[in-house]
Amino acid sequence: MTDKQNRIQALISSIVNYLKAHRGCLSGVDITLDKLAGMNLSDERLIDIPSQSTRHDEVLSNAIAGIVAPELVDIAICLKAAKDDLVWREDNAQFYQQGADLGKGYTKCNLHTLLIGSDACGHYHPDFSLGIFMLGPRTLYRDHNHEAPELYVNLSDKSGWRFGTRDWKDYPAGSLIWNPSGATHATRVYEQPFISVFVWLENVSSLCKLVLCDDWEEIEHELARLGS
């Protein structure tokens, strides 16, 4: 393997090891691990494709530097080492139902890279995705749902979440978020960028659907004031 492939494989292994340490904590973790166990993630199956940088490199570097929880040190080290080896892409309207308004904050700064998936820079899989997701500071990821069951491993220090209600709860670094198929959820990002591991377990080609809430403008205004 090349040095680049070694770094990507090490990043994948660090994530899998974190999930293994939390088997039994959430059904989504167990389902994810069971699916991963059925895959051939051997070194010889690694894809070797050109890396792709991003216009949000400074925000991304800050997000990675903000991964400081002791239990996440291995992921942080591996992600920092592999950052420039990965293929970074931005979400856009093509992933959402027609006419979706994602909000200025989200469209201004979002990123993801796939480590396992249909167009991954690590291992190919037609209907499973594992990667890294980032949002810029002071961003509302508006309420939405999708057919794909979804698992998050929060890497950043603090992020806000709500699940089909108007009530928000902050989750710390290392916390696990499980969104079953069709479950509505939203995320808000404070002064520091948000970064996480994400997994879509199946139905990865399904479109996201925004679930209209009348408080989006108010929340986005409050978040914008954090930077003033």
Q: Is the pLDDT of residue 227 over 90?
A: no
- Residue 93 pLDDT class (50, 70, 90 cuts): low
Go through the domains of the chain in sequence order and give each one's CATH number.
3-225 (2.60.120.10)
Q: Is the pLDDT of residue 96 over 90?
A: no
Contact 173, 156 (CB under 8 A): yes
DSSP code, position 144:
E
Question: Residues with Cβ < 8 Å from 104, sequence gap 6 or more?
Answer: 220
Contact 105, 220 (CB under 8 A): yes
Report the DSSP beta bridge partners of residue 202: none
Tens digits of residue pLDDT in 136-190: 999 999 999 999 999 999 999 999 999 999 999 999 999 999 999 999 999 999 9
* pTM for the model: 0.96
Rounded Cα distance, 172 and 181, in Å: 24
Contact 66, 192 (CB under 8 A): yes
